[in-house]
Amino acid sequence: MLKFNTEKINGLIKKYNLGSFRDVAIFMGILVLFHFLWRFFIGDLLRVEFILKSSVYLAHEVFIRAQWMLDVLGVNYTGFDQMLIAETVKNNVIYLPEVNGYVSVNLSCSGLKQFYQFAVLMLLYPGPWRHKAWFIPAGLLIIHFVNILRIVAMTYVTIHNAQNWDFWHDNIVRPFFYVVMFLLWVWWNEKFHLKAKKQRQEAGAGNSGS
């Protein structure tokens, strides 16, 4: 039966300075696992009233805040809470009359998945709980703001480069969510987790030497 020697593995990690790769692997593992679990169970999750209402609420909030930003930027648009497009009712529609195009902030654009993804990542990843108490809410606010920017960016794509809308949405704007989450995780890992770990090691070394 295969047995893992934890001390030997940790020794190899320390010897070849693989600590950063291990941490990134943990980050990626948690995010990827959550992504597939969410996709597999999304139908069941949206049957939970709290999750459905949260998704509806967040989508509308993103829609409202994106409109405010578009007003500041001077974009010509009309906002509709609901709009019939191609015999389908679309919610939270930013209609662009100059190009006869639109952006719809539907439930998948609410950012709820990313909220849960970031919260689960931070809850599972090691680090001081007293800092997690403020870091998680702050991270969620940053992710919400990024989602608003995402809708504004897709509005500009609709106006200026609609023929490549899918490319921008799938390959540029959507992955940006995960770039931001990665940067938040790096911030946490470097400033809180590794710092606290180093302090514990120094305290342990001091106690053993006394």
Mean pLDDT of the chain: 84
For 120-179, what is each residue's pLDDT tens digit?
Answer: 889 988 888 999 999 999 999 999 999 999 999 999 999 999 999 999 999 999 888 889
pLDDT for 202 beyond 60: no
Please answer whether residues 92 and 170 qualify as being in contact, where contact means their C-beta atoms are separated by less than 8 angstroms: no
What is the sign of the dihedral through the CA atoms of 116, 118, 124 and 127?
Answer: negative
Which band of pLDDT confidence, cut at 50, 70 and 90, is reported for residue 183? Answer: very high
Hey, what are 155's tokens? 């509005």
Kind plus residue range of the DSSP H or E element containing 127: none
- The residues, ordered by sequence, that sit 6+ positions from 122 with a Cβ below 8 Å of its Cβ are 132, 135, 136, 139, 188
Q: What is the mean pLDDT of residues 97-105?
A: 94
How many Cβ atoms from other residues are within 10 Å of residue 202's Cβ? 10
Is the pLDDT higher at 94 or at 203?
A: 94
Q: What is the pLDDT of residue 21?
A: 75
pLDDT for 208 beyond 80: no
Domain ranges across the chain: 31-75+109-193
CA angle, residues 120, 45, 124, in degrees to nearest 5: 10
Q: What is the pLDDT of residue 48?
A: 86
User: Which position has the token pair 């320390």?
Assistant: 14
Which band of pLDDT confidence, cut at 50, 70 and 90, is reported for residue 1? Answer: very low
d(CA 120, CA 54) in angstroms, rounded, equals 17
For 46-78, what is each residue's pLDDT tens digit?
Answer: 788 998 999 999 999 999 999 999 999 999 999
Pair type for strands 78-85 and 88-96: antiparallel
pLDDT for 80 beyond 80: yes
**Closest alpha carbon to 57 in 49, 69, 47:** 49
pLDDT for 12 beyond 50: no
* pTM across the whole model: 0.82
Q: What is the pLDDT of residue 197?
A: 67
Which band of pLDDT confidence, cut at 50, 70 and 90, is reported for residue 200? Answer: low
Strand boundaries in 17-176, DSSP class E: 78-85, 88-96, 101-104
